Amino acid sequence: MPPRTCGLCNNARAMLKRPKTGQQICRDCFFYVFETEVHNTITEAKLFKPGDKVAIGASGGKDSTVLAHVMKALNERYQYGLDLFLLSIDEGITGYRDDSLETVKRNQQQYDMPLKILSYDELYGWTMDAIVEQVGKKNNCTFCGVFRRQALDRGAASLGVDHIVTGHNADDIAETVLMNIMRGDIARLGRCTLICTEGEDTIKRSKPFKYAYEKEIVMYAYFKKLDYFSTECIYSPDAYRGHARVFLKDLEAARPSAIIDIIHSGEAFEVSEEVKATQKVQQTCKRCGYMSSNDLCKACTLLEGLERGVANSAITDRARKKLDAEGPAPENLRTIPFYHAPSATPNIAIAINTP
Amino acid sequence: MSESCGNPAAETDALMARRTKFDRSRDCVKCKTNTGNIVIRHAVYCKDCFTPLQITKLKRTLEPTINAASAAAKGPSRNKLRADGNLAIGISGGLGSTVLLDLIARCYYSTDGSTKTKGKGGTKHPRNNESIWREARVFYIEMCGAYPESASRDRTDEIRLIVEKYPAFEFCPLRIEDAFDPAWWARVGGRSPEKEHAMGVNLASEDLLLGSVSSPTGSPCAALRAYLSSLPTATATQSAIANLTRLLLLYTATSTGSSHLLLGTTLTSLSIGLISGVAVGGGFVVREEAGEQWAPRGGTSASAVKIVRPLKDMGMKECAAWAWWNGLAVVGKENVSGGRQGIGGLTKDFIVGLERDYPSTVSTIARTCAKLAPKAAASERCVLCERPAQKGVQEWKARISIRSVRDANTDASQAAPPPKLNPPHDGHQLPPTLALTPHLCYACHTTFTSRSSRSAAHLAKGVALGAQGGPVPLPAWVASRMHEFGSGGDSAGHAGGDKEVWQGKQMGAGEMQAVVGEFLLEE
Ligand SMILES: [Zn+2]
Ligand SMILES: [Zn+2]
Ligand SMILES: [Zn+2]
Ligand SMILES: [Zn+2]
């Protein structure tokens, strides 16, 4: 077969078939369209203004490694005028985070960005290894997700940053749309396709890779020779990978635009006005000041369960009842330090309150 | 960094807890005396209690749609159901529609027109009064024309036998190729069929340029096959057939003065439709997927037909039990060849599997989608599916996936020019009378243009499906609508475009090429 010319520039030799469109294009055109689509996403949503301090949530995995690279490139090319930081969370998983944190540290040098690493251990007094020891492997991902979200906000607050960008890609978002429909989580369904979420007193979070295909992120890293740490969390066994993810991959195989089409669907609808009126209002956690829809935020509930040896209290109703039956939380319970939004105090102490 | 560690189970704690087949007792939860015969979402029912339960569910869905005006009224007329028009029931021969037919006949018509129902329900009972609808028709669309390769059989006569068991219903067979038949279009009140017949669309570029069908194929069946075989994916073929079916039913139902079009969509098939609708980009019309009110363009709300799915609270299992206990013969639907490869088929497999393991998921999907509303007002109606369409769909697509030089150059302020791209040509300024794209909703445009990686390779080699034979024929309502644009008969308030382009004459493919040549991508 004779070499094909690039479907975009009609000039160079086509090097790849774009996973998103199936088009056969050259390498330079691929870099160009990939970066320009991210740029379009950023400018269309007016994500940044000059002088913004932006933390890139960096895990050492492919998404955040490519995100750091692209953010730096676009910041220079289009003169966004951003102050970029790397922010990493150390969950305390032996053999998993150790290596990926090395990647993040290399990125810090390559991209010349300040790096902040915040550990579950210093924030919550628990490593994931210790949590798994207590709760087993079944529900530990609940802890990890809840703890990580809060840790990122707290890390950003300590850096005095007003915006966190994360590497969530189009596949993640499409999968979340499907999951939220299937589990009836109407509040999250309304939020999950937003490019930027901002609570009243929390740090802005956004997803510049919202429309970037996972396969293209990998392709970009491959052609740019970016090194990233590719591994699945050792506490997330394959059997748990979820029906929605497998289904989404099937849909993508049938028609590659399916991922973007699902996101388009998710952006086209919203929770109807009648239903909105019945939704819970956002409040702050009585114990730690973090945003919450109940008196206690999820992290505090999980932590209390861990501390009192009823780890599943936030997961099953029965365990929660058992905890409540034991009476109120003891006075000397170890808790998360009180959360202050960055507007209130730029720097907060990240020491654990040990009685 | 992703917030979750890549484990979807992290956020699914509340969902999908597998449960035991039924809760504790084997006795019917309703009468608490009989031994249960069926388990419906963890609850056990006996056969005697099952029947009234299903009838209640059906009435709860259907009756509030019948006469909103008198339902709000007080006094004796309050409970009297009286529809504004006739009844249309769409039947496919599948399980759901077979059960629907039986349930409707049983609830609202006396099955033998005689003594059987006397004494039951009193004089106020609708069966003993005038019917709710003056006339009742059952529409069946024969699909075998869409699947020539599978040599599928014509089921019209088998369906006729089933419908004729119910004397209240008039059987009205249609064929899927009627969508391309000027005679059908004239029958349902469409205009100037001869001229429209020759209009087609060229699928070679994303603009979907209009043209005239170069070698008029003659029979509607040939036009249907040309249309379907030009589509780029199995998903597109499934979507297209579903869309043709829906509009054949809607146009025919409104032309027969129907106020209600009932479909045998079960809870299971509704969930499948909702999820696959989302997966093909139809989120904007997620509400319409569950139920819609529709009138032909320019029609008043008095001429509108309501699509109602009275079985939407009944799962596949309940339907199967109803058919079994009532001895209903199910002819079966056309088995779509290659269906598994398409999004519709994949979604079906997925949902049916979920329903087996996590019985509450299907109802959760339906309940969730019922809480959604379109985010913005519709700008107009899509010419193909005739549902509300959003504004700015093409701009969105161009921004999110750059597929051509002109997309790449939309940002004039860019600091880094793309590597040696060819001079741009701006297809967004195509006169609206020349291309179909500006008149399509997101999902319909995607149906025509989104390729699988295999078909994309074909395109690169210049043997794009559909590009081979020039323009392919369009369904009658699309051709008719686009013709109106061309001749300036624009009722929807569009920018009229270049009216002189059409001047009532059809242009040859060659002439068309000359007019739009500068807009075309070089192959
Ligand atoms: Zn190129
Ligand atoms: Zn808290
Ligand atoms: Zn019973
Ligand atoms: Zn449409």
Smallest Cα distance from B225 to chain A, Å = 22
Q: Is A60 annotated as a binding residue?
A: no
CB-CB under 8 Å, A149 with B371? no
pLDDT at A193: 87
The reply, when asked if residue A250 is annotated as ligand binding, is: no
Contact of B415 with chain A, judged by CB distance below 8 Å, is answered with: yes
CATH number, residue A221? 3.40.50.620
Q: What is the 3-state secondary structure (H, E, C) of B119-138?
A: CCCCCCCHHHCCCCCCCEEE
A309 assigned binding-site residue: no
A161 falls within a domain = yes
Task: Confirm whether A33 is domain-assigned.
Answer: no
Which structure tokens are listed for B447?
């149906």
Give the Å distance between the CA of A352 and the centre of ligand 2. 14
Token pair recorded at residue B282: 């139809």
B281: how many CB neighbours lie within 10 A of its CB?
27
A141 and A219, same structural domain? yes
Q: What number of CA atoms fall less than 13 Å from residue B404's CA on the CB side? A: 19
**B3·A243 Cβ contact <8 A:** no
Ranges in chain B, pLDDT < 70 = 1-24, 68-79, 111-130, 151, 192-197, 214-217, 334-340, 405-433, 453-469, 486-523
pTM of the model: 0.84
Question: Do A213 and A80 share a structural domain?
Answer: yes
CA distances in angstroms from A267 to A192, A195, A260, A270, B272, listed in the order given: 9, 10, 11, 8, 20
pLDDT tens-digit readout, B15-33 = 444 444 555 678 898 898 8
C-alpha of A244 from chain center: 18
For residues A205 and A164, membership in a common domain is answered with: yes
Q: Is A58 annotated as a binding residue?
A: yes
**Which residue from A21, A28, A185 is facing B403, i.e. has the nearest CB?**
A21
Minimum CA–CA partner of B9 in chain A: A240
**Assigned domain for A1 exists:** no
**Domain for residue A7, yes or no?**
no
Q: Are residues A181 and A319 in the same domain?
A: no
> Searching chain B, which residue's CA lies closest to the CA of residue A261?
B281
Closest chain A residue by Cα to residue B522: A10
B12 interfacial to chain A (CB closer than 8 Å): yes
Q: Is A251 on the interface with B (CB under 8 A)?
A: yes
Check if A165 contacts B (Cβ < 8 Å).
no
Q: Which residues surround ligand 1, an ion (CB under 5 A)?
A: A 6, 8-9, 12, 26, 29
Is A203 near chain B, with CB under 8 Å? Answer: no
Report yes or no on A355 lying in a domain: no
Place of tokens 């087609």: B200
Say whether both A236 and A112 belong to one domain: yes
Residue of A nearest to B404 (CA): A8
Contact, B94 vs B264, CB < 8 A?
yes
Residue with the two structure tokens 């409104």: B254
Q: Is B10 on the interface with A (CB under 8 A)?
A: yes
Enumerate the residues of chain B whose CB falls inside 8 A of the CB of residue A179: 8, 11-12, 15
Q: A231 and A309 share a domain?
A: no
Predicted pLDDT of residue A319: 65
- Give phi and psi for A163, each to the nearest 5: -155, 130
Whose CA is closest to B210, among B522, B506, B445? B506
| Whether the Cβ atoms of residue A59 and residue A104 lie closer than 8 Å to each other | yes
How distant is the Cα of B330 from the closest Cα of chain A, in angstroms? 30
Q: Which residues contact B385 (CB under 8 A, 6 or more apart)?
A: B243, B246, B247, B285, B441, B443, B444
Complex ipTM: 0.83
A11 touches chain B (CB under 8 A): yes
| Assigned CATH for B66-71+81-112+128-401+432-483 | 3.40.50.620
Q: Do A188 and A175 belong together in one domain? A: yes
Task: Say if A195 falls within a structural domain.
Answer: yes
Measured between beta carbons, the chain B residues lying within 8 angstroms of A175 are: 8
A172 is in an annotated binding site: yes
- Cβ neighbours around B486 below 10 Å, total: 28
B40 and B315 Cβ atoms separated by less than 8 Å: yes
- Chain A residues inside the 8 Å CB shell of B12: 179, 183, 242
Chain pair A-B, CB pairs under 8 angstroms: 276
- Best probe of the B interface among A86, A147, A181, A228, by most B CBs < 10 A, is A181
Same domain? For A147 and A57 the reply is yes
Is A63 annotated among the ligand-binding residues?
yes
Whether A293 and A205 share a structural domain:
no
Nearest to A7 by CA among B395, A22, B516, B464: A22
Interface contact A269, partner B, CB < 8 A: yes
Residue whose C-alpha is closest to residue A16's, from A311, A308, A216: A216
Q: Is B18 on the interface with A (CB under 8 A)?
A: no
Q: Is A17 domain-assigned?
A: no
A261 annotated among ligand-binding-site residues: no
Please tell me if residue B17 touches chain A, with a CB cutoff of 8 Å. no
- Start and end residues for every CATH 3.40.50.620 domain found in chain B: 66-71+81-112+128-401+432-483
Domain carrying residue A194 = 38-279
What is the total count of domains within chain A? 2
Question: Which ligand sits nearest to residue B393's alpha carbon?
Answer: 4
* Beta carbons of A32 and B375 less than 8 Å apart: no
Are residues A212 and A307 located together in one domain of the fold? no
Distance of alpha carbon B513 from alpha carbon A166, whole angstroms: 47
Cα B441 to averaged position of ligand 4 atoms, centre (Å): 4
Enumerate residues 6+ apart whose C-beta is below 8 A from A172: A214, B2
Least Cα distance to A140 among A281, A262, A260, A234 occurs for: A234
Do A142 and A264 lie in one domain? The reply is: yes
| Residues of B with Cβ-Cβ distance to A272 under 8 angstroms | 371-373
Q: Both A213 and A122 in a single domain?
A: yes
Q: Can you list the residues of chain A whose pLDDT is less than 50?
A: 200, 237-241, 344-355
User: Smallest CA–CA separation between A265 and chain B, in Å?
Assistant: 4
Chain B closest-CA separation from residue A244 CA (Å): 8
Q: What is the pLDDT of residue A320?
A: 67
A51: closest CA of chain B, how far (Å):
19
Q: Could you tell me if residue A311 is inside a domain?
A: yes
Side chain identity at residue B278, one-letter code: V
Judging contacts by C-beta atoms under 8 Å, the chain A residues touching residue B416 are 32, 77
